[in-house]
Amino acid sequence: MVINENSSILITGGTGSFGKKFVESILSQFPKIKRLVIYSRDELKQYEMAQLYSGQSYPGIRYFIGDIRDSQRLMLAFEGIDIVIHAAALKQVPTAEYNPMECIKTNVLGAENVIQSALNTQVRKVIALSTDKAAAPINLYGATKLCSDKLFIAANNIKGSRDLSFSVVRYGNVMGSRGSVIPFFLKKRHEGTLPITDPHMTRFNISLEEGVEMVLWSIKNAKGGEILVPRIPSYRITDVAKAIGPSCKHSIVGTRPGEKIHEELITTSDSISTVKMGNYYAILPTNVHYTIKDYCKLTGAIPVSPGFCYNSGDNEEFLSVLEIQSLIRKHVDPEFTV
């Protein structure tokens, strides 16, 4: 499916970091797009976003107040929509550990509501955003996103004759997003000490722009049933600290509940059904109408080696201190200096 001026798109969690960047990208290419619905539950964020993207300047834009827990409201919002980007979630690991059922209601039951709403309307493609924490999860947030991923993949089995597909995009930490380590360190560096959870900790890194680019690529190329994973670099938490506060002392505070030293995007168990294609990997489902051989023939993908694992600690590419500084200036704070 290709996005054009006649497309109708809805994004859940549309006022979040990803949602705002996605809307910016779509409207820069298609300012007169037929319909672009920002669906979220925060009226203040919608008001603030509407100051940037008003209905007067962009006649196709709509702001829908609603929660993905509300199936009736969600189904109403899906009427006349072609493409759904599902970005709404409760994402903070400590918050999920302390409020487990709230996280389950949004991330799991909300995902099922998205699926049922798509099945009961004329939606043709659903792309759901996931996280590296869904691979071999050890915290509740990751477990709920793994459940969500499984629901979206399995939804392809019950679509019947509908012209509809569900796929998942899974990637790592978004540089500069709310609650992430870089903005946290930027605030703390003036105190002279940066708290380090564990000096061995690593994370995958992706910019908002790269995340949006991947979702746009997935809308065009996903066949349905895949978990799509980008090939992205890692960083060491100590290198981030050096990049932001080179003269700061480090205070080792220990990992938080449910926090890994290294994150995974693809586990060893997934390697038997994983293929590589250009800048992306695809974890393929085992119970759909196509085989791995069919998928590779269709897309030009190549199966990965048995036992392959995509881990932030064993990644082939790591960002240097200078590269981290350059990316902060590009994606987080243009006036950043050390």
Alpha carbon distance 231, 25 (integer Å): 21
Among 25, 45, 30, residue whose Cα is nearest residue 208:
25
What per-residue confidence (pLDDT) applies to 35?
Answer: 98
Query: What are φ and ψ of residue 82, in 5° steps?
Result: -95, -45
The beta strands (E) that lie in the chain are given as: 8-12, 35-40, 61-65, 83-86, 125-131, 165-171, 173-174, 193-196, 202-206, 227-230, 234-236, 249-252, 264-266, 274-277, 280-283, 302-303, 310-311
pTM beyond cutoff 0.85? yes
Distance CA 139, CA 143 (A): 6
DSSP string of 63-102, one letter each residue: EEE--TT-HHHHHHHHTT-SEEEE------HHHHHHSHHH
d(CA 167, CA 114): 13
pLDDT of 94 reads 87
Structurally, at CATH architecture level, domain 8-172+206-232+267-312 sits in 3-Layer(aba) Sandwich (3.40)
Q: Return d(Cα 267, Cα 289) in angstroms, integer.
A: 24
Per-residue pLDDT of the chain (338 residues; tens, 9 = 90+): 999 999 999 999 999 999 999 999 999 999 999 999 999 999 999 999 999 999 999 999 999 999 999 999 999 999 999 999 999 999 988 899 999 999 999 999 999 999 999 999 999 999 999 999 999 999 999 999 999 999 999 999 999 999 999 999 999 889 877 778 999 999 999 999 999 999 999 999 999 999 999 999 999 999 999 999 999 999 999 999 999 999 999 999 998 777 899 999 999 999 999 999 999 999 999 876 778 999 999 999 999 999 999 999 999 999 999 999 999 999 999 999 98
Q: What integer pLDDT is reported at residue 195 of this predicted model?
A: 95
Catalytic residue among 133, 188, 242, 260: 133
Distance CA 79, CA 307 (A): 44
- What was the pLDDT predicted at 288? 66
The domain segmentation of the chain, as residue ranges, is 8-172+206-232+267-312
Helices and strands, counts by H and E, the chain? 12, 17
pLDDT score recorded for residue 176: 79
Residue 204 contacts residue 232 (beta carbons within 8 Å): yes
Both tokens assigned to 66? 């609603």
Q: Is 133 a catalytic residue?
A: yes
For residue 251, give the H/E element and its range.
Answer: strand 249-252
